């Protein structure tokens, strides 16, 4: 059985709901994506706000760190097709995630997460040794080699380059398999570190690829360390809290590719 199928079975709905209750103190200012013409929900002094999008893997990086560190925050979801001016005023390049507290604004997931790790140090997610911290950063700064394939693999079917793309995918995934084999249960050893949270969102989205290319699955005979890692990651409360079902990811990706992203999918 593949690691992902196994993980999905273990992720029983009741467990997820239990975790979601655990985090129920987190305020969602706007679950529905706010677009042009909307008003920016009023800010509260001393309250950390995350501007996000429910299906964005980069925003998920920051949500994972916020939740794992049990930092109190509120969420405002943004319609990225029709961004309000007040969102551009915070991030002129118009990307989520964005963090805001008491007039301080940060964007770019890696910057947001380093800020959180320094300002809310418990539990520490980045090594204090600068060389080790750089080793970790290299792993997430080069993860684009994997994440770009989430867009290239679907396109490659039409132009006949799927086998080439899959070879690149396997080579890149193997880098992480080898690194993990040296580190332990998580990239952080016996507990998760920043690397785990920075790369996890794409592993959750692998079903988007396996619909097109079943070879993209993380099979335990080929990637034993990553396969076990996916199982242990799925047990983390923060991972459960941000988890979306494969059907939701597939639906969102299809709507995105069709040019009308369904930001509010699944909301009543
Ligand atoms: N390098 C950025 C990438 C963030 C990103 O690409 N976010 C996407 C959503 S997943 C976005 O905001 N897209 C809006 C746009 O491209 O206009 C980061 O790490 O935060």
pLDDT tens per residue across span 105-120? 999 999 999 999 999 9
Mutate to test the pocket of ligand 1, among 58, 76, 252 (most ligand atoms within 8 A of CB): 58
**Measured between alpha carbons, how far is 172 from 166 in angstroms, rounded to an integer?**
10
**Measured between alpha carbons, how far is 261 from 77 in angstroms, rounded to an integer?**
13
Q: Which of 56, 112, 165, 193 is catalytic?
A: 56
Task: Tell whether ligand 1 has an atom less than 6 A from the beta carbon of residue 50.
Answer: no
Band (pLDDT 50/70/90 cuts) for residue 246 is: very high
| E strand residue ranges, 71-208 | 74-78, 98-101, 104-107
Residue 200 CB neighbour total at 10 angstroms? 25
Active site residue 56: yes
Task: Tell whether ligand 1 has an atom less than 6 A from the beta carbon of residue 106.
Answer: no
Domains of the chain, earliest start first: 13-119 (3.40.30.10), 130-257 (1.20.1050.10)
Q: From the alpha carbon of 107, which atom of ligand 1 is closest?
A: 20
Task: Tell whether ligand 1 has an atom less than 6 A from the beta carbon of residue 226.
Answer: no
The DSSP bridge pattern shows strands 27-34 and 104-107 to be unpaired
Q: Is residue 4 scored above 50 in pLDDT?
A: no
Q: Is residue 77 scored above 80 in pLDDT?
A: yes
Using CA atoms, how far residue 74 sits from 50, 77, 153, 190, 242, in Å, is 6, 10, 35, 30, 14
pLDDT at position 11:
45
pLDDT at position 214:
95
Q: How far is the CA of 6 from the centre of ligand 1 (A)?
A: 30
- Lookup: tokens for 213: 């290319």
Which residue in 97, 38, 108 sits closest to 73, CA to CA?
Answer: 97
Task: Tell whether ligand 1 has an atom less than 6 A from the beta carbon of residue 96.
Answer: yes
Task: Tell whether ligand 1 has an atom less than 6 A from the beta carbon of residue 80.
Answer: yes
pLDDT at position 23:
58
Band (pLDDT 50/70/90 cuts) for residue 6 is: very low
In order, the DSSP letters of 121-154 are -SS--S-SSHHHHHHHHHHHHTTHHHHTHHHHHH
Tens-digit pLDDT profile for residues 213-227: 999 999 999 999 999
**Percent over 90 (pLDDT), the chain:** 87
Q: From the alpha carbon of 96, which atom of ligand 1 is closest?
A: 12
- When pLDDT is averaged across residues 229-245 and rounded to a whole number, the result is 98
Helix (H, G, I), strand (E, B) or coil at 83: coil
Tens-digit pLDDT profile for residues 32-73: 999 999 999 999 999 999 999 999 999 999 999 999 999 999
Give this prediction's pTM: 0.92
Q: Is residue 20 scored above 80 in pLDDT?
A: no
**Measured between alpha carbons, how far is 213 from 50 in angstroms, rounded to an integer?**
34
């Amino acid at each position: 059985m593949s690691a992902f199928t196994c993980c999905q079975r273990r992720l029983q709905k009741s467990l997820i709901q239990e975790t979601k209750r655990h985090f129920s103190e987190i305020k969602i200012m706007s679950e529905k994506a706010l677009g042009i013409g909307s008003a920016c929900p009023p800010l509260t002094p001393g309250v950390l706000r995350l501007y996000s999008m429910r299906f964005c893997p980069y925003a998920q990086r920051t949500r994972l760190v916020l939740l794992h560190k049990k930092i109190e925050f509120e969420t405002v979801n943004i319609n990225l097709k029709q961004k309000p001016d007040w969102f551009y005023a915070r991030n002129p390049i118009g990307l989520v995630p964005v963090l805001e507290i008491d007039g301080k604004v940060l964007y770019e997931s890696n910057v947001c997460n380093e800020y959180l790790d320094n300002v809310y140090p418990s539990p520490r997610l980045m090594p204090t040794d600068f060389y080790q911290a750089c080793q970790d950063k290299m792993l997430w700064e080069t993860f684009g080699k994997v994440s770009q394939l989430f867009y290239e693999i679907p396109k490659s079917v039409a132009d006949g380059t799927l086998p080439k793309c899959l070879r690149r995918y396997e080579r890149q995934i193997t880098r992480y398999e080898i690194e993990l084999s040296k580190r332990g249960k998580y990239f952080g050893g016996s507990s998760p570190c920043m690397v785990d949270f920075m790369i996890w969102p794409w592993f959750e989205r692998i079903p988007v690829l396996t619909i097109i290319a079943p070879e993209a699955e993380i099979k335990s005979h080929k990637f034993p360390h990553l396969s076990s890692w996916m199982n242990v990651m799925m047990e983390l409360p923060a991972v459960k809290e941000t988890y979306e079902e494969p059907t939701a990811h597939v639906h969102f990706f299809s709507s995105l590719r069709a040019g009308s992203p369904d930001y509010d999918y699944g909301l009543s």
